[in-house]
Amino acid sequence: MNSRDTLKINSAGHLEIGGADCTDLAKEFGTPLYVYDETHIRNMMRVYQDTIKEAYDGRGLVLYASKAFSCEAVYAIAKQEGIGIDVVSGGELYTAMQAGFPAEKICMHGNNKLKHEIEFALDRKIGTIVVDAYSEADMLDEEARKRGIVQDILLRINPGIEAHTHAYVQTATPDSKFGFSIADGTAEKMTAYLLQKKNLRLKGFHCHIGSQIFEKQSFVLAVEKNVKFMSDIKNSLGFVTESLNMGGGFGIWYTQEDAKLTVKEYKEYLLALIQTLKKECGTYGLQLPFIYIEPGRSIVGEAGITLYTVGAVKEIPGIKKYVAIDGGMFESPRYALYHSKYTALLANRANDTPTEMISIAGKCCESGDIIAANVNLPKAQTGDILAVLSTGAYHYSMASNYNRNLIPPAILVKDGKADYIVKPQSYEDLVRNDLIPERLK
């Protein structure tokens, strides 16, 4: 298990999260069920923002990268905590606005923002848009001109750092679809282009070097490359960087192969980043920029678990044992996408010693529908409550209705109290947008 004091085994031998017994939650809300621990979400938002306060005189803002888990309640928590958010689509922006999130604290990303998404962002007066293409810069400048405004922007650059992470989730390698490369000069050219735009105000740069990164050195290197670029661009174009967004990507615990960081230890990433920034800006004689960081996974990932009920158990003698649950790739797609690893336990018999290596199979008609392979478990029986840990990020947000399965509801627990933050879907929801043309009737 991870090292959260809000996730533990209680005296009944049951898994407990946020003061709530998981077997009770399964009974009350049914399974599959996404469960979020509010305290952990808040603690993670705070540790980053407090570090900026302490180590950088508060001259920065944490933006929760909401693609990790987007719903109105999580935006409401971020708003209460006083941090900002980033969004990557009109849908995320809409959800945040519905939750009453302050527009000026929203930053919009995307390598191919659609015209209606840009119009929506400008109409809602969002704080910052991160530009990632010439065509987008043109469109954005034109739409801002039509509205008589000057929009604050950052330019997405690619510092060319290979972060230590899974290859599928790397974004800053030279062949990335994201950003303009520092190394090949396109970042400088694009900067010059943006500076000519009358209705765009370039504040600085953004980079995001990958995800599930534990290596502090990757962030240190990225800062070094960025500051060198800030200096070069000041010398060549006279442009002074006011803001620097260093992206997210801080790793979390999924299995014993991963580091088990306490909330406080996440401070170290940011301190390393800030210390490097101060040192490098000193070396080049640059003013310290306002900084943004954009953690997503590390804020909600370990805060979430998924509860299932065990159904069929099937053993292929000498080969493998499958424990099937009432979920699957429709609500837990990361194994199917990246072969991600997880830790699971039986929530109703949490003290039982794991005795066998099994794979957890979903209920979709797809042999790749495994949600975790090679998991150590006690002998599971039909009716057991299975908990998969660290499912708070990129699970609900990537869920689908594949096989017309219902996307599970999500609940938020705190001090033993549990509330829906995403209601259960119904079969009516599935057919809500279906139409039968006259000629088929």
Ligand X SMILES: *Cc1c(COP(=O)(O)O)cnc(C)c1O
Q: 193: which residues sit within 8 A by CB, 6+ positions away?
A: 134, 137
Pick from 360, 258, 344: which is nearest to 305 by CA?
344
Q: Pick the stretch among 33-41, 289-297, 321-329, 383-391 that binds ligand X (CB under 6 A).
A: 289-297
Tell me the C-alpha distance between 268 and 286, whole Å.
24
Q: Pick the stretch among 186-194, 233-241, 293-301, 324-332 that binds ligand X (CB under 6 A).
A: 293-301
Cα distances from 210 to residues 61, 159, 308, 360, in angstroms, run 20, 11, 31, 28
Helix 134-146 vs helix 186-195: crossing angle, to nearest 10: 10
Based on the shown chain and the rule CB under 6 A, indicate whether residue 159 belongs to the binding site for ligand X.
no
Single residue of 60, 127, 295, 333 touching ligand X by CB under 6 A: 295
Strand duo 128-131 + 410-414: pairing: unpaired
Residues near ligand X (CB under 6 A), total: 16
Of 18 and 295, nearer to ligand X (C-beta) is: 295
Single residue of 15, 68, 140, 154 touching ligand X by CB under 6 A: 68
What is the enclosing helix (H) or strand (E) of 407?
Answer: none
Confirm whether 365 is a catalytic residue.
yes
Of 298 and 348, nearer to ligand X (C-beta) is: 298
Single residue of 43, 66, 181, 211 touching ligand X by CB under 6 A: 211
Burial 333-372 (b: 16+ CB within 10 A, else e): bbbbeeebbbbbbbbbbbeeeeeeebbbbbbbeeeebbbb
Based on the shown chain and the rule CB under 6 A, indicate whether residue 297 belongs to the binding site for ligand X.
yes
Single residue of 20, 22, 33, 65 touching ligand X by CB under 6 A: 65
Of 106 and 345, nearer to ligand X (C-beta) is: 106
Least distance (Å) from ligand X to the CB of residue 295? 5
Of 56 and 394, nearer to ligand X (C-beta) is: 394
Long-range contacts of 421-425 (CB under 8 A, 24+ apart): 421/36, 421/71, 421/72, 421/73, 421/74, 422/34, 422/71, 422/73, 422/396, 424/30, 425/401
Q: Pick the stretch among 63-71, 72-80, 140-148, 268-276 that binds ligand X (CB under 6 A).
A: 63-71
Cα distances from 217 to residues 7, 25, 212, 244, 347, in angstroms, run 30, 41, 14, 18, 37
Least distance (Å) from ligand X to the CB of residue 94? 19
Question: Taking CB under 6 A as the rule, which mask of x and - marks residues 2-21 in contact with ligand X?
Answer: --------------------
Single residue of 84, 159, 289, 296 touching ligand X by CB under 6 A: 296
Looking at the chain, how many residues does it have? Answer: 441
Q: Pick the stretch among 70-78, 94-102, 253-261, 295-303 that binds ligand X (CB under 6 A).
A: 295-303
Based on the shown chain and the rule CB under 6 A, indicate whether residue 208 belongs to the binding site for ligand X.
yes
Helix, strand, coil percent values for the chain (each to nearest 5): 35, 25, 40
Q: 23: phi > 0 → left, psi -120 to 50 → alpha, else beta; which?
A: alpha
Tell me the C-alpha distance between 169 and 75, whole Å.
24
Least distance (Å) from ligand X to the CB of residue 300? 8
Question: Taking CB under 6 A as the rule, which mask of x and - marks residues 359-398 in contact with ligand X?
Answer: ----------------------------------x-----
Burial 381-393 (b: 16+ CB within 10 A, else e): eeebbbbbbbbbb
Q: Pick the stretch among 16-24, 62-70, 183-191, 416-424 that binds ligand X (CB under 6 A).
A: 62-70
Least distance (Å) from ligand X to the CB of residue 110? 9
Of 182 and 347, nearer to ligand X (C-beta) is: 182
Question: Taking CB under 6 A as the rule, which mask of x and - marks residues 104-133 in contact with ligand X?
Answer: -----x------------------------
Q: Which of residues 233-252 bind ligand X (CB under 6 A)?
A: 247-250
Tell me the C-alpha distance between 24 and 353, whole Å.
22
Least distance (Å) from ligand X to the CB of residue 351? 33
Q: Which of residues 249-268 bind ligand X (CB under 6 A)?
A: 249-250
Please pick, among 71, 207, 281, 365, the residue that the annotation labels catalytic.
365
Tell me which amino acid residue 303 is.
Answer: A
What's the count of helices (H) and strands (E) in the chain, helices before strands? 12, 21
Tell me the C-alpha distance between 47 and 44, whole Å.
5
Place of tokens 């800006």: 281
Question: Taking CB under 6 A as the rule, which mask of x and - marks residues 325-364 in contact with ligand X?
Answer: ----------------------------------------
Place of tokens 């001259």: 59
Of 218 and 298, nearer to ligand X (C-beta) is: 298
Tell me the C-alpha distance between 416 and 414, whole Å.
5
Chain residues binding ligand X by CB under 6 A are: 65, 67-68, 109, 208, 211, 247-250, 294-298, 393
Active site residues: 365
